[in-house]
Structure 1
């Protein structure tokens, strides 16, 4: 068993477990916020205000900063030693703090025109506009802390610690739940209470990382420089990744814009279907790429390229081993899953059918979206951030073009299919260009065929039982066990990696309790 693949699988299990907790807490948060804040003037004001620092997080903190930082930090640590790497990290944090503080001061001063640009319709209601401006001023400093958390994540992941960064979103969820309930039961304005909860959540996420940083031997006290070459290199690598994040946000915006031309309900069908696809993608797909990047970056820094290829192959195989049956299950059980989760109140059987059709179309692209993430991580580990961004721009054009073409005969399902087709194109381009860059195959096709055959079997079995309520739900753990057992019988490396990672986590929990 490849040692790097085993390490990636074990770390991915940590990230996946923490992400699962965060997603469950996120659902609880949505329920409680709906109860305490409801829908109306203050709710709209809060969601708009929270969206502004979240946009900065998505552009600079989430992914972009971490992916640019880890390869540079890992290379400096390998070539120049621990002190030089820590000095680079401190310098990066100083620069980050100065830049974000400057942006925050500007936002505090220009909150009114910024709110007018983001939500111009609010100007029709002076009270709503005033409240939104107030909430923007309270919420925005959150960006300083959450982007700093992204840098802490890069340091910890490079030092082979994944738990604290993966648990960080749970702190925000707890802070929002607590502030919403506190505001509601104490009779305060819930929107203002939650705005302060956002800021408290940002501080809490940053503080959570600090004891774990100290435990790994990192300290913020020590040498740093305004002219650190590593920070300059990180900045150059970040520019394309920020553009890539912007392309992704534009993609979402344009898809919503196209859906707005379709019959009423189309945007909602796509939203609910996408939420379900994002669950396995967020829990497992992101987990593998998050765990893979530090290992790939270290191997690239050491110029151990055979080991690099082996680790990447293991990451791709493990991703496909998880993503294919997830897609098959969602396709087979689309209608009963949607009905179970949403068919109540105003959500009619017709809405269930329309959303299920969108879910099937989205699920077809799930494996390609998941596989693209380790490939992008491999490019970043090689300090090539431009190629994935160029490909993302091409796929943006393809998605919009296909969406316009397919929405005519297929309505909202055509838009979902366009996303899946563009995801396939993204994967193919990334795979081909990386294979050329590495001069060989970066993925085992034998494992791909085995995963495909096993997933098809699971999908067919689940489809035949989909109408047997409630058996279809009770049989899901059985399909999971059968799939893993089938992989083990076929002697798939991915099945061994998956079971070894789960076994490792269970042993650690038992040892912790003991």
Structure 2
């Protein structure tokens, strides 16, 4: 395993090990800048598209993906509301994601990508045979877990939502029964979620990042159509929250939701073939390779289990709050909204970073690992910071405008927005924690993330239980969002000094300076948003019109003020973002149109 450079010594790659501020623009375009330290023969990690360009492609795809995902949430809030059917649907639809992540998702993220990068650098066939063996092993593992998970559908529902039930014939008993039926439809998604992640990991190590960000659009479009068809044939759910669904409507939601992820996974097959991967099964699995995966995944299991337990406690506490207190449907909708601003930039940057950092870590080029991390944090933060500040304030009116329709009331919509606003406060530490974990993974280091995950679990569970027992029923789900923010902040604070021991420097001063300037740039917009909401609230009653005016005037003005202040404060990352977007639109404008 690569050793960290001793304090005061130059890193093995010949970098200066310091701030690197003199190469600011070059680091943003190509970490390390100038001529590669090996005299021009870049290793495999450097032959991939540069971070800025890769992130732009993925951010565009992720933006469209998350926009359609947002529309998907909009349709299902209108169709199901936040009552018993929505709680049953969201609880069951969470199961495949949770089981997949618990059993295999963390391994694909933290283990497979670094090993594929290493094989591509070391093997004579550039890791082709190794990738085929990993693919075969992944398919077998996914199929096994899917079959077992489907067979255990009813016990899994009891584990997550055992506090939702009642005497025969009651609404609680019906809600539990519908949840179990949904689970049988949804749990087979494990196989296809896993295939999507596994194939995406193979594509990422080959420098193909865009497809992973675009194929979810197909999934969202299918499920949006299913939600619209459900409204057409089944109608809206009653505002009293009780379940009103026919067997045909239940099958439509169950089969249609699963069909979306099936098509999403199949859509990656032609992309893989164009990337040169045959998807041919190889049965010459080597014991040594499986042992390496098992050894690296051992500590990762502890991290994944800690995250799973944290989600389990939060889900059961949300279910304990019940539909009248928001329930798990409200928590799930707010969580989906919370993922939007992070995913547009954060996931894009992370996907591009992990293969690069894995290559640099393998070559013991620690200053380039540091530069990649610093660049990733600052590029993501230029959007995530204003999103966190403004959405924390404008989340409630945004959801009043969007969700006060169909099966949802104005009060329920506002509560979703309040939970979303609380989640938004944790966007920056959430993003930072995710990036820090990728640095550990690039060094094939999983023990430290596992220990950090256990501490985060303790903090999160304590926060969830305090929310359940100390807050009024109507505020419990907001308390769960606050507990999640505290948990991610704990992870970010703990990870930083532990990473310093590994890398030697994280460019902390430069990151801190950029973050402080970004937060300062949001302050005028924050004041403007508060004033706008107060003025509009004195004229209009709560509802869609109040939400629309608050968002258009308050949110639009806040963003314009942030852009102005970012230029005045000389935020380099904002300048590069604007230049990159302008350049992309310029190329599109000048591109000849073929008839």
Q: TM-score, structure 2 length as denominator?
A: 0.73
- Does residue 68 in structure 1 map to residue 135 in structure 2? no
* Change over 3 Å in CA distance of 1:144–1:255 after alignment to 2: closer
Judging by fraction of residues, say which structure has more helix.
1
Q: Which runs of 5+ in 1 are unaligned?
A: none
CA distance in 1 between counterparts of 2:471 and 2:227 reads 44
- Does residue 18 in structure 1 map to residue 18 in structure 2? no
* Change over 3 Å in CA distance of 1:512–1:157 after alignment to 2: farther
| 2:439 corresponds to | 378
Indicate which of 221, 246, 250 corresponds to 1:174. 221
- Does residue 162 in structure 1 map to residue 209 in structure 2? yes
After TM superposition, the structure 1 = structure 2 runs for residues 38-437 of structure 1, keeping only pairs within 5 Å, are 50-60=93-103, 62=105, 64-81=107-124, 83-107=125-149, 121=165, 124=168, 136-179=183-226, 189-221=248-280, 225-227=284-286, 229-258=288-317, 264-265=324-325, 267=327, 273-342=334-403, 347=409, 352=414, 358-404=419-465, 408=470, 412=476, 414-437=479-502
| 1:439 corresponds to | 504
Q: Is the 8 A contact 1:87 1:224 kept in 2?
A: no
Displacement of 1:434: 0.7
* Change over 3 Å in CA distance of 1:350–1:92 after alignment to 2: closer
CA distance in 1 between counterparts of 2:375 and 2:455 reads 28
* Change over 3 Å in CA distance of 1:502–1:224 after alignment to 2: farther
Q: Is the 8 A contact 1:74 1:301 kept in 2?
A: no
Q: Which runs of 5+ in 2 are unaligned?
A: 1-24, 32-48, 235-246, 537-548
* Change over 3 Å in CA distance of 1:46–1:454 after alignment to 2: closer
Q: Is the 8 A contact 1:331 1:363 kept in 2?
A: yes
* Change over 3 Å in CA distance of 1:195–1:339 after alignment to 2: closer
Aligned positions, number: 512
| 1:497 corresponds to | 576
CA distance in 2 between counterparts of 1:453 and 1:497 reads 19
Deviations 1:337-364 (A, max 9, x none): 3433345686456984x66665554333
3-state DSSP of counterpart to 2:383: helix
Q: Which region of structure 1 is more displaced relative to structure 2, 151-160 or 27-36?
A: 27-36
CA distance in 2 between counterparts of 1:371 and 1:94 reads 33
Displacement of 1:140: 3.8
Deviations 1:215-267 (A, max 9, x none): 22222348663116445433433344344333223223323545667795254
CA distance in 1 between counterparts of 2:426 and 2:82 reads 33
* Change over 3 Å in CA distance of 1:217–1:441 after alignment to 2: same
Displacement of 1:450: 1.6
Q: TM-score, structure 1 length as denominator?
A: 0.84
Displacement of 1:310: 0.9
- Does residue 487 in structure 1 map to residue 542 in structure 2? no
CA distance in 2 between counterparts of 1:501 and 1:190 reads 46
CA distance in 2 between counterparts of 1:70 and 1:317 reads 23
Q: Is the 8 A contact 1:78 1:302 kept in 2?
A: no
Q: Is the 8 A contact 2:524 2:561 kept in 1?
A: no
Q: Is the 8 A contact 1:73 1:230 kept in 2?
A: no
Q: Is the 8 A contact 2:396 2:421 kept in 1?
A: no
CA distance in 2 between counterparts of 1:396 and 1:416 reads 14
